[in-house]
Chain A
Amino acid sequence: MTAAGDRRAQFEAEALVHLDALYGLALRLTGGDRARAEDLVQETALKAWRGWDGFEPGTNARAWLLTILRNTFINEFRRMQRHPDPVTFDEIAERSVFADVAEEDPEGGFFDRLVDAEVSRAVDELPDEFRVPVVLSDLEGLSYQEISDVMGIPVGTVKSRLHRARRRLQRRLYSYAKEMGYLS
């Protein structure tokens, strides 16, 4: 096989096998916007292909690709967020549902009955400023400091957005569970 053929085969075997994971993350970051998610994955793959010679074989290709995708998204996100719309405070949406279910389902058994698509949809429905920290923290496992660094916002803001975002997400899941009859 030629050197170019080797490079291609290696890229296929080590990088392109992660396209499904990349697309999954792109969908959540973009709030379920398929066209934007596809562009994001394509741009990520292109950057990875260009930088493939710098990739050290045997290291974690998936993590490397997810980082490229995240950085590509965040650069665009930060450009668009220079003049963000203020996120309004919604007292009811941001109240823990624990008090509502404490009698009937204190251990959150209804979460078990929600399917992956319902959780993904609830994440997608969060406003951008709330969705991105949730994706970075809960789906990607970044620390508050890492989120602060990539988003360019103070750690205190990360903390409060995560808190409010999770409460909104929880209330949305609670509403689904009620609609589906999992809770009375």
Chain B
Amino acid sequence: MMDRAGDGDGERISCEQAIERVYEFLDGELDPDWTERVREHLEVCRRCYPHFNFERIFLDHVRSKGLCPERNELLEQRIREALLPD
């Protein structure tokens, strides 16, 4: 088997390779093989673990605060008049 960095079974990956994939990992979009490699890296890397944790907290905030329903009474009235004439 070719011995390419980070591309063979069970090979350790670098911090750079882990960080490049931070959002794919947190989004659950990495394939199982890469997910496992990143997970293994995070178990042993004191630098990347807090970084990943920070990115996860950031995404949680965007997801919970970014989409706020907003009331627009004039729009509601306009729609009711246009769609539901008495």
Contact = CB atoms under 8 A, between A and B. Distances in A.
A16 B80 contact: yes
Contacts of A102: 50-51
At the interface, is chain B mostly helix, strand, loop or mixed?
Answer: helix
B13 to A, nearest CB: 17
Nearest to A141: B63
B44 interface: no
A144 interface: yes
B23 A162 contact: yes
B46 to A, nearest CB: 12
Given A42-B78, A116-B65, A166-B23, A12 B57 contact: no
Of the listed residues B19, B65, B76, the one surrounded by the most CB atoms of chain A closer than 10 A to its CB is B65
A19 B79 contact: yes
A123 interface: yes
Given A19-B72, A98-B54, A173-B58, 19 more contacts: A8-B84, A16-B76, A16-B80, A25-B67, A41-B79, A42-B75, A42-B82, A49-B83, A49-B84, A96-B51, A111-B61, A114-B65, A115-B65, A134-B66, A135-B67, A137-B27, A138-B62, A138-B66, A170-B58
Interface of A: 8, 11-12, 16, 19-21, 23-25, 27-28, 38, 41-42, 45-46, 49, 96, 98, 101-102, 106-108, 111-112, 114-117, 119-120, 123, 134-135, 137-140, 143-144, 159, 162-163, 166, 169-170, 173
A138 B79 contact: no
B33 interface: no
Nearest to A155: B29
B59 to A, nearest CB: 7
Contacts of A108: 54, 57-58, 61
Given A114-B61, A138-B59, A144-B29, A24 B23 contact: no
Q: Which 5 A-B pairs have the closest CB atoms?
A: A20-B69, A119-B65, A139-B67, A111-B61, A108-B57
A136 B65 CA distance: 14
A74 to B, nearest CB: 17
Contacts of B70: 20, 23-24, 27
